[in-house]
Structure 1
Amino acid sequence: MTAPLTPPHQPHEPSSENNPWQVPPAGPGPSSMYAQRTAKDEAAAAAERRKDLRDSALILVAVTLAGVALGLLWLWLAPRVPLISNSEGVFLKDTEGEEAIGADGTFLLLAVGLGALSAAAVFLFRRSGGIALVVALAVGGLLASLLGWGIGVWFGPQRDVVAHAREVGEGVTFDAYLDLGAKGVLLAWPVAAMLVHLGLTALFGPRDPEPDWPEAPPAPPQ
C-alpha cells in the first residue's frame, strides 16, 4: 500500500470560489444603488420644500396686498351714519337707522367674496396644494382684513366727532367715522378662503393613482 499524498491532519485550503469570507468584488451593488436612490430622493424633497416656501411667501404677500381693495371698496360701499349737533351735543339724526350694522355687513360680504376669489386664484396657481400654501392663504386673509379695516378707518370721516361737529356747525348733518362694531367679521376672509380652497381641492385636485390589484385566481373546478 502507498501512503496518501495529503496527511489527514493537514487542513484543506479552500479555494477562492468556495471561500464564504472573501471580499466582494468592486463595483455597483445593491447597497450603492440604494444610497444613490436615497440621495436623489432627499435632494428632490429639499427642492420641493424650497419651492413650497417660495410659493407660500408669494401667496402671503399677494393676498395681504389685496386688502387694499377691500378697504377701498368698503369705504365706497359702506352706508354712512348721519349725525347732527346742537348746543347740547352730538346726536344720531335717525335713531332707528341701521347704517352701523350695514357697515359691518358690507365688510363681511366684501371679505367673503374676496376670500373666495383669493382661494380660487391660489388653487389655479398651485393645484397640488400643501399645508404651507393653506397656512399662507389663511394668514394672508387675516392680514388683508386688518389692512382693509385700517384703510377704511384712516381715509373715512374723521374720528373726532366733536371737532367735526364744530367744523360743520350746529344743525348740519355730517357722517360719523367708519368703523367695525363686530370685530369677528375680520375672520370672514380667512374662513371663506380656506373653505373654498378645500372644496376646490376635493373636487378638482389631483388624485392619487389607483393601486394595481392582482387578479383573482380562477375558481377550482367543481
Structure 2
Amino acid sequence: MTREVRAFAVTVLTLAALGVTAGLLWSGLTPRAPYQVTDQGTVLADPTTQALIAADGWFAVITGGLGLLCGGVAWFSARRWMLPVLLGLCAGGVAAAYLTLWTGSTFTLGAVVVEAAPSATGAKIVPGALKLTAQGVLVSWPLLAVGFFGLLEGMHGYRESPLRAPYGGLGPN
C-alpha cells in the first residue's frame, strides 16, 4: 500500500515541478497583448490583436507536449504500479496545468514586445499580463497524458493477447 501511495505522490510532485517550468517557458515564448492606460484603467489597445489567441495556443502546445511526454515516460517506467501512476498523471496533470497558468501569468520572462495601432489620444501602451481566454486548454496536459498512457497500454495488451491470433489462439474446427 505504501509503495502505491509513493508512486502516486512522486508522479504528482514531478508533474507539479514540470508545471512551474512550463509556466516559465510559456511566459518566455508568448507575445503579450497591448493594453492602453486610461482614466478607467487598462483596456485592450488593439481589438484585432492575435496575442490573446497566441497565448492560448502556446499554452496548449506546451502543456499538450509535456502531457504526451509524461504519459510515455510514466508508461515505460511504471510497469509495476500502473493504477497509482495513472491516477497520479490525472491529478498531477491538473495541478501542473494550473501551476503553469499561475507561473506564466505571474512572472514575465523574455523580451516583451508590444505592437498596437497608434491611438488618437496618445495614451500610453503597455504589455498586458498573460491570461487564458479559452479555459478548455487547461485540460490538455492531463487529457493527453492519460490518453497516451492508455493508448500505450492498449497496444501492449493487444500485442500480448491470445485473441490476436486467428480463431482466438484455437485451431479451426
Q: TM-score, normalised by structure 2?
A: 0.76
Q: Pick from 160, 181, 185: which aligns with 2:137? A: 185
- After superposition, the C-alpha distances for 1:132-162 in whole angstroms (9 at most, x for unaligned) are 22111110000001111111121139xxxxx
Structure 1: 5+ residue stretches without partners? 1-48, 158-169, 217-222
Q: Pick from 136, 151, 155: which aligns with 2:88? A: 136
In the alignment, the residues of structure 2 paired with residue 203 and residue 129 of structure 1 have an alpha-carbon distance, to the nearest angstrom, of 18
Query: 1:151 is matched with which residue?
Result: 103
In structure 2, the CA distance between the partners of 1:151 and 1:89, relative to structure 1 (3 Å rule), is: closer
Q: Which amino acid aligns with 2:63?
A: A
Alignment check: 8 A CA contact 2:7 2:81 kept: no
Identical-pair percentage? 29
Rg comparison, structure with higher value = 1
SS of the residue corresponding to residue 35 of structure 2 reads strand
Q: Pick from 79, 83, 87: which aligns with 1:127? A: 79
Structure 2: 5+ residue stretches without partners? 110-121, 164-169
SS of the residue corresponding to residue 174 of structure 1 reads strand
In the alignment, the residues of structure 2 paired with residue 51 and residue 70 of structure 1 have an alpha-carbon distance, to the nearest angstrom, of 28
Q: Pick from 3, 9, 12: which aligns with 1:60? A: 12
Q: TM-score, normalised by structure 1?
A: 0.60
In the alignment, the residues of structure 1 paired with residue 39 and residue 161 of structure 2 have an alpha-carbon distance, to the nearest angstrom, of 77
Number of residue pairs aligned between Structure 1 and Structure 2: 154
Query: 1:101 is matched with which residue?
Result: 53
- After superposition, the C-alpha distances for 1:143-194 in whole angstroms (9 at most, x for unaligned) are 001111111121139xxxxxxxxxxxx6332101111112221111000101
Query: Shift of residue 99 of structure 1?
Result: 1.0
Query: 1:116 is matched with which residue?
Result: 68
In the alignment, the residues of structure 2 paired with residue 154 and residue 64 of structure 1 have an alpha-carbon distance, to the nearest angstrom, of 16
More helix by share: 2
